[in-house]
């Protein structure tokens, strides 16, 4: 194998150095990510410019790029808090968040890549304990779940509003009470439900009874009005009309005029 000419050796060395420098200088930022540039010889973290976007970048080899995920992320958390009457309540919650893109440099400079552990988790724990402490176990277990979730979201958002973190939502997945308290609440809720059903039956029965009374009163009033309107003269006229109709019937009968009560015709049939 022929030796490399001495004149070519410096060029090869330079080429290798350039290749190494180029490799160290090339930075690829993936989808949903952004880069924070740290300039070793120029005031450190760049905070007065937008973060580096997706794609291929060339930076000086003595500088460093810190890559952050800037998409919405979820962090689950389990915690214990005290209710308003001092009982231990276990919460399982999730927070949806993402770093503030425009201030990514400040987030890195002040909070570092550990911002979730240093800022976000303590914030949601503090907010959850503050909110849970306002309610009784019964309220936490039943009617106030949505209100608690919204209040924890608002409290957490308030805590981190100046920390370069964007809170999108807080979800309370589960609220666990001490077993004895849970059983007592379920018994109470069952009794309340049975009581409501009983009251409903009583109200329904009362309405049915009132309906019957109203119908009876209406019928009695109708009969009273009808009786008041039937004078002797009207009854006689109606009796005569009926006698005429019966006399026209082909059935055998004997009609005695003036022999009935109050002078009404008396009809004698063959039956």
Domain range annotation of the chain = 9-69, 73-177, 184-229, 233-269
Q: Which residue has the tokens 């009581």?
A: 195
The predicted structure's pLDDT at residue 107: 96
> Residues with Cβ < 8 Å from 44, sequence gap 6 or more?
38, 109
The predicted structure's pLDDT at residue 82: 86
The predicted structure's pLDDT at residue 212: 77
- Tell me the pTM: 0.60
| CB-based contact 80:89 (threshold 8 Å) | yes
Whole-number Cα distances in Å, 242 to 230, 247, 264: 16, 9, 11
The predicted structure's pLDDT at residue 1: 46
| CB-based contact 246:253 (threshold 8 Å) | yes
CA angle 22, 27, 28 (to 5 degrees): 130
The predicted structure's pLDDT at residue 135: 87
| CB-based contact 170:152 (threshold 8 Å) | yes
The predicted structure's pLDDT at residue 185: 62
Exposure of 237 by Cβ count < 10 A (0-12 exposed, 13-18 middle, 19+ buried)? exposed
The predicted structure's pLDDT at residue 30: 92
Q: How far apart are CA 88 and CA 176, in angstroms?
A: 9
The predicted structure's pLDDT at residue 154: 94
pLDDT along the chain (271 residues), means of 10: 56 54 74 94 90 90 92 92 84 94 95 94 93 84 79 94 94 81 64 65 77 78 67 62 64 53 53 49
The predicted structure's pLDDT at residue 69: 95
For the chain, first and last CA: distance in Å? 149
CATH fold group of domain 73-177: Tetrahydropterin Synthase; Chain A (3.30.479)
């Amino acid at each position: 194998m022929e030796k490399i000419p001495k004149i070519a050796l410096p060029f090869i060395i330079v080429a290798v150095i350039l290749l190494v420098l180029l490799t160290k200088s090339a930075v690829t930022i993936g989808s949903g990510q952004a880069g924070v540039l740290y300039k070793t010889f120029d005031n450190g973290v760049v905070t007065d410019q937008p973060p580096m976007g997706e794609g291929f970048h060339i930076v000086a080899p003595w500088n460093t790029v810190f890559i952050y995920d800037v998409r919405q992320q979820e962090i689950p958390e389990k915690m214990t808090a005290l209710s308003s009457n001092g009982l231990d309540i276990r919460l399982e919650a999730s927070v949806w968040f993402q770093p503030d893109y425009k201030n990514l440099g400040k987030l890195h400079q002040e909070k570092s890549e550990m911002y979730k552990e240093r800022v976000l988790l303590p914030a949601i724990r503090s907010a959850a304990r503050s909110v849970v402490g306002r309610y009784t176990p019964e309220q936490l277990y039943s009617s106030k779940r949505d209100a608690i979730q919204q209040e924890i979201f608002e409290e957490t958002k308030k805590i981190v509003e100046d920390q370069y973190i964007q809170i999108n939502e807080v979800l309370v997945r589960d609220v666990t009470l001490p077993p004895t308290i849970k059983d007592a609440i379920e018994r109470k809720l069952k009794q309340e439900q049975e009581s409501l059903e009983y009251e409903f039956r009583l109200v329904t029965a009362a309405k049915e009874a009132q309906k019957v009374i109203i119908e009876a009163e209406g019928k009695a009033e109708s009969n009273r009005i009808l009786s008041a309107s039937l004078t002797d003269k009207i009854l006689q006229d109606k009796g005569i009309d009926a006698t005429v109709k019966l006399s026209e019937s082909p059935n055998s009968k004997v009609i005695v005029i003036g022999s009935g009560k109050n002078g009404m015709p008396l009809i004698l049939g063959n039956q």
